[in-house]
Amino acid sequence: MKEIKKITCIGAGYVGGPTMSVIAQKNPNVIVTVVDLNQARIDAWNDADLENLPVYEPGLDAVVADARGRNLFFSTDVEKAIDEADMIFISVNTPTKTYGKGKGQAADLKYIELCARQIAAVAKSDKIVVEKSTLPVRTAAALKSILDNTGNGVNFHILSNPEFLAEGTAIVDLHNPDRVLIGGEDSAAIEALVQVYEAWVPRERILTTNLWSSELSKLVANAFLAQRVSSINAISELCEVTGANVDEVSRAIGYDSRIGSKFLKASVGFGGSCFQKDILNLVYIARSYGLTAVADYWEQVIILNDHQKARFAENIIQTMYNTVNGKNIAFLGWAFKKDTNDTRESAAIYVADHLLEEEAHIVVYDPKVPAEQIYKDLDYLGTRSSEDNRRLVTVVNDPYEALQGAHAVAILTEWDEFRTYDWAKIREEMKKPAFVFDGRKLLKRDQLTSIGFDYYAIGE
Ligand code: UDX
Ligand code: ADP
């Protein structure tokens, strides 16, 4: 296999952008071009002001500053980039289908198929095609079939190289991965991709498997992580009625080295583009093979997560004397976790929707999420008109403005800055009794109650 000199990545999103930036940073002799159909997104990646990158990730600006213009390029010329590349990563979005068979469960592969057809149409030399997006098992086989049947007689080798980075820590995860997983059938193609990663990842942390194991491992890793969150969230409800404290339970069980301490933080519910989508995929595959018990088992992780979000909203309503109609509820945080501007499947969206059904007035402050995105997320649900969403929801750029005159504060994202606020001053400005509903267990109960807040946290 010849040495890889040019890499192209199709899709400049949360996965493609940061991953390729690090690959380029660590392989200065490889030209890495990231392409996307979305001109505005590419312009933002090329913006001289690194504050304007389309993805907010701590440390990403420094990596881009290192490599951009040297051997890292962002462009909308998809065909040219495909033509020139030795290796093509596919990193386009694979949302859950919103129509037809598998609606609400199966992944929508139309963007992947479009990419495959475009690669086949353009390629005039052999290519290694790498699946980076999370995909249902056996997508590689479909990719191969499209490439082989519509191509110009050149050879395509398909590899699966799932991404394990978590948003908010993407650069640390990419610089120091627990493992890199490469699935494939052709040993020379696998070796070519191993070499790209070996530029900075120790060889023993690069695992190689067959294609299907690699594809399935990605879904299973996310399903196991999400299952831990749902497991501890289930226990949080039990803690609330028994007088146990879920943080103490997490700590006690996490000390057992067989269980481990990570992903045991009770919350208002997990979000993000991966957990729900990947479990739905797993459930869909299991059901399509008639494995009902397996499908039901994993589906419960999502059912519990939905329950946790609804329960948090219901608790707000009940505590505020069974009505939030016309009351001001300040939302601190909208992103699905801290240190990202990504809001996909964020618990905040569903909690807000629930409260808006009761005609609450919500004022949102998030350090990184712009107002348009918040309205887009609510409009996408289709629960009410976009006029009503704008009538009931206000977005502000100053947290103290959100809290001014509020009847209650709900903490939806664990941004560190929320801890540093002057909570005594905030209480003075709020309606009394002043309620705090802490969906992230971020603040200190003793401190808030001594100031005079009515403080509620998950699992206490
Ligand atoms: C996840 C996987 O971690 C990553 O390996 C994969 O590549 C993509 O999916 P991500 O969704 O970016 O990453 O973030 P993650 O840190 O896993 O958090 C997911 C959700 O679970 C967030 O909403 C987070 O707040 C929530 N969570 C996480 C908890 O509620 N409690 C926890 O203990 C951990
Ligand atoms: P992820 O979190 O998986 O990176 P994103 O939605 O952030 O998902 O990014 C996926 C990107 O892929 C989007 O910017 C979208 O415009 C781009 N994309 C989708 N289909 C194509 C295509 N056929 N060619 C080029 N870019 C595409």
One-letter-per-residue 3-state SS of 218-284: HHHHHHHHHHHHHHHHHHHHHHHHHCCCHHHHHHHHHCCCCCCCCCCCCCCCCCCCCHHHHHHHHHH
Amino acid residing at 196: V
Ligand 1 atom closest to 345 (CA): 23
> Does residue 1 carry a pLDDT above 70?
no
Q: Is 111 in the pocket of ligand 2 (CB under 6 A)?
A: yes
- Residue whose CA lies nearest to ligand 1 atom number 25: 337
Per-residue pLDDT band for 48 (boundaries 50, 70, 90) equals: very high
The confidence score (pLDDT) of residue 385 equals: 97
The confidence score (pLDDT) of residue 106 equals: 81
> Does residue 68 carry a pLDDT above 80?
yes
* Domain 6-96+105-209 coded CATH 3.30.70.141: no
- Whether residue 115 lies in the annotated active site: no
Per-residue pLDDT band for 358 (boundaries 50, 70, 90) equals: very high
Q: Is 142 in the pocket of ligand 1 (CB under 6 A)?
A: no
Q: How far is the CA of 40 from the centre of ligand 2 (A)?
A: 12
User: Stretch 120-135: mean pLDDT, rounded?
Assistant: 92
Q: Is 274 in the pocket of ligand 1 (CB under 6 A)?
A: yes
Q: Is 8 in the pocket of ligand 2 (CB under 6 A)?
A: no
> Does residue 217 carry a pLDDT above 90?
yes
> Does residue 3 carry a pLDDT above 90?
no
> Does residue 23 carry a pLDDT above 70?
yes
**More confident site: 143 or 224:** 224
Q: Is 93 in the pocket of ligand 2 (CB under 6 A)?
A: yes
Contacts of 289 (CB under 8 A, 6+ apart): none
- pLDDT (tens digit per residue) in 307-343: 999 999 999 999 999 999 999 999 999 999 999 999 9
Q: How far is the CA of 75 from the centre of ligand 1 (A)?
A: 30
> Does residue 58 carry a pLDDT above 90?
yes
Catalytic residue among 57, 131, 163, 240: 163
Q: How far is the CA of 229 from the centre of ligand 1 (A)?
A: 9
**What is residue 18's three-state secondary structure?**
helix
Ligand 1 atom closest to 342 (CA): 12
> Does residue 410 carry a pLDDT above 70?
yes
- Whether residue 26 lies in the annotated active site: no
Catalytic residue among 26, 97, 132, 218: 218
User: Stretch 278-306: mean pLDDT, rounded?
Assistant: 96
User: Stretch 280-289: mean pLDDT, rounded?
Assistant: 94
The confidence score (pLDDT) of residue 342 equals: 96
The confidence score (pLDDT) of residue 420 equals: 97
Q: Is 267 in the pocket of ligand 1 (CB under 6 A)?
A: yes
- Common-topology check for domains 6-96+105-209 and 213-460: yes
Per-residue pLDDT band for 280 (boundaries 50, 70, 90) equals: very high
> Does residue 2 carry a pLDDT above 80?
no
- pLDDT (tens digit per residue) in 367-403: 999 999 999 999 999 999 999 999 999 999 999 999 9
- Whole-number CA gyration radius for the chain: 23
The confidence score (pLDDT) of residue 314 equals: 98
Q: How far is the CA of 3 from the centre of ligand 2 (A)?
A: 27
- pLDDT (tens digit per residue) in 427-459: 999 999 999 999 999 999 999 999 999 999 999
Q: Is 136 in the pocket of ligand 1 (CB under 6 A)?
A: no
Q: Is 56 in the pocket of ligand 1 (CB under 6 A)?
A: no
Q: Residue ranges per domain, the chain?
A: 6-96+105-209, 213-460
CA 250/CA 337 separation, integer angstroms:
19
Q: Is 92 in the pocket of ligand 2 (CB under 6 A)?
A: yes
The confidence score (pLDDT) of residue 167 equals: 95
- pLDDT (tens digit per residue) in 132-156: 987 777 788 888 999 999 888 899 9
- pLDDT (tens digit per residue) in 228-263: 999 999 999 999 999 999 999 999 999 999 999 999
Give the residue carrying structure tokens 């109650």.
Answer: 449
* Nearest ligand to the CA atom of 163: 1
- Whether residue 110 lies in the annotated active site: no
Contacts of 328 (CB under 8 A, 6+ apart): 360, 361, 362, 363, 405, 406, 407, 408, 431
User: Stretch 278-297: mean pLDDT, rounded?
Assistant: 95
Q: Which of 92, 163, 342, 344 to mutate to test the pocket of ligand 2 (most atoms within 8 A of CB)?
A: 92
Cis amide leading into 433 (omega within 30) = yes
Q: How far is the CA of 226 from the centre of ligand 1 (A)?
A: 7
- pLDDT (tens digit per residue) in 163-186: 999 999 999 999 999 999 999 999
Q: How far is the CA of 437 from the centre of ligand 1 (A)?
A: 21
User: Stretch 59-64: mean pLDDT, rounded?
Assistant: 98
The confidence score (pLDDT) of residue 46 equals: 98
CATH code of 213-460, in short, is 3.40.50.720
